[in-house]
Amino acid sequence: MDPLRAKNQLRSLPGVDELARSIALPLPHGLVVAEARAVLEECRERIRRGETLAEEPREALERRLRGLLAPSLRRVINATGVILHTNLGRAPLPAFPPPQGYSNLEYDLDTGRRGRRDVHAAPLLERLLGAPGIVVNNNAAAVFLALHELAAGGEVIVSRGELIEIGDGFRIPEIMQRSGARLVEVGTTNRTRIEDYRHAITSETRLLLRVHPSNFVIHGFAGRPSIEELCALGRERGIPVYEDLGSGCLADLSPYGVHEPLPQASLRAGASLVSFSGDKLLGGPQAGILAGRPEIVQRLRRNPMFRALRVDKLVYSALETTLRLTLLERWDEIPVLRMVRLSPEEIAARARQMAGEINGAGLGVHADVIRGESLLGGGSTPGQSLPTYLLAIAPQASALERSLRAGEPPVIARIDEDRLLVDLRTVDPADDAALLQAVLRACGSLSPSAR
């Protein structure tokens, strides 16, 4: 940009007070002034770099301030077909009563004395799992707490094929190192035998660890000991067996094509301790759940890190609701389980009705219903998918996707071969009407030339 022109542009910018007075929003004056100052500094930097201002200072300031008035965390409609979508909060929560005002979080209403917050989930966990349990803020915290209490300063034996990395760089070997436990790898990447564990045991061995590889599958010449074999070895040598199961599936979903190990089965097989996530196939809030032998769970509860990793009243309220619905087998009230149990035919009927509405609107787009696959996602059931039917809309898929994402509520879909794909498996039927209106608006927003 010409230096003289840049100088003139800088001079034409309003003053801070003038810009602040131009905004008529119910906000504290000091906040408006501070944001006005920040907007003007951004404008000056752009001008100095020779860039064109994308919007006038007043428009930029009003946009920033309106952003402060609206919540950042918003409800979206997930039309991707990925049930446990990590970027969309994993498991959609069942309806639960968030505690308003004060609550009996750590107060025993029967005795009138101080209580423990884990009583809101512990009785339900014990009924479901047949063993006592505690709750921390996520499954990574559960793994850390277990290793820190049971194996700090000692050795933990684990198969090389189970030294996994999950999302956001969480690696089992690194969490073991931070816990103070020493890692002893046995076997190979694809095959580990029970004798590999047996030969690695020393006087320093504190724990036999088994990790469910919840986000990958090894096919071909592969194998590892069963949980029963590992527990038999643990009993023989007097060493606890801890299994991290990751996805936390408490209901048998095999009739619906989902094959995941159940924590209660591992405990019945003799595992001393298991851990799993609350916000995967359990269908609840983010949490890490540990359950097992009473004396081990009591040790974990007494560990000073348990307090640092504990969860708050909102998580307990959502988790208690999820566990109660599971115990009562009210599957359709847990969104994740309702989605898994949906038949392709049910999804197809909804998709065909929606396609008819879109094609009949005369908006210059065409919607087809095609076969597809839904995914569990969220580090669960790798290699497994659920048959579904997709709503495929063309043309201008990219423009439609952007428009849907910018709407209210935002709709998140996916694109394949220049078709916008909508999978109704992950859309609550109560949102079908809102989704249809969002799609119609997005289609109507396309310019005639774009169609």
Q: Which pLDDT belongs to residue 448?
A: 62
Measured between alpha carbons, how far is 136 from 171 in angstroms, rounded to an integer?
18
The pLDDT score that the predictor gives to residue 218 is: 62
CA distance 349 to 266: 39
Q: Do 316 and 423 belong to one domain?
A: no
For residues 148 and 142, give the distance between their C-alpha atoms in angstroms, rounded to a whole number.
10
Q: Would residue 195 count as lying in a domain?
A: yes
For residue 362, the domain's CATH number is 3.90.1150.110
**The total number of structural domains that make up the chain:** 3
Residue 243, in any domain of the structure: yes
Residues 232 and 376 in one domain: no
Residues 209, 357 within the same domain: no
Calpha distance 14→43 (Å, rounded): 11
Contact 397, 61 (CB under 8 A): no
Q: Is residue 248 part of a domain?
A: yes
In a domain? residue 438? yes
What are the phi and psi torsion angles at 53 (to 5°)? -70, 130
Which of 311, 333, 355 marks a domain boundary?
Answer: 333
User: Do residues 325 and 345 share a domain?
Assistant: no
Which tokens sit at 17? 């007070």
Helix (H, G, I), strand (E, B) or coil at 401: helix
**Whether residue 231 sits in one domain with residue 194:** yes
- pTM here? 0.90
Q: Residue 165 domain-assigned?
A: yes
In the numeric block, which tokens belong to residue 37? 């100052």
Structural domain span for residue 26: 3-68
pLDDT of residue 169: 61
Specify if 102 maps to a domain: no
Q: Provide the residue type at 105 as one letter.
A: L
Do 155 and 290 fall into the same domain? yes
Residue 231 covered by a domain: yes
Q: Looking at the structure, do residues 365 and 390 belong to the same domain, yes or no?
A: yes
Last residue in a domain, options 284, 309, 333: 333
Q: How many CB atoms lie within 10 A of CB 56?
A: 14
What is the sign, positive or negative, of the torsion defined by CA atoms of 439, 440, 445, 448? positive
Are residue 319 and residue 296 in the same domain, yes or no? Answer: yes
In a domain, 101, yes or no: no
The full DSSP string for 355-386 is HHHHHTTTSS-EEEEEEEEEE--TT-STT-EE
Q: Are residues 315 and 346 in the same domain?
A: no
Do 119 and 251 belong together in one domain? yes
Beta-bridged to residue 276, according to DSSP, are: 246, 289
Between CA 111 and CA 104 the distance in angstroms is 12
End-of-domain residue from the set 333, 359, 379: 333
Q: What pLDDT score was predicted for residue 36?
A: 97
Domain co-membership, 180 together with 280: yes
The pLDDT score that the predictor gives to residue 353 is 98
Same-domain status, 230 and 295: yes
Per-residue pLDDT of the chain (451 residues; tens, 9 = 90+): 577 788 888 999 999 999 999 999 999 999 999 999 999 999 999 999 988 888 999 999 999 999 999 899 999 999 999 999 999 999 999 999 998 999 999 999 999 999 999 999 999 999 999 999 999 999 999 999 999 999 999 999 999 887 766 655 667 778 878 889 999 999 987 889 999 999 999 999 999 999 987 655 565 566 889 999 999 999 999 999 999 998 889 999 999 999 899 999 999 999 999 999 999 999 999 999 999 999 999 999 999 999 999 999 999 999 999 999 999 999 999 999 999 999 999 999 999 999 999 999 999 999 999 999 999 987 666 668 999 999 999 999 999 999 999 999 999 999 999 999 999 999 999 999 999 999 999 999 985 655 5
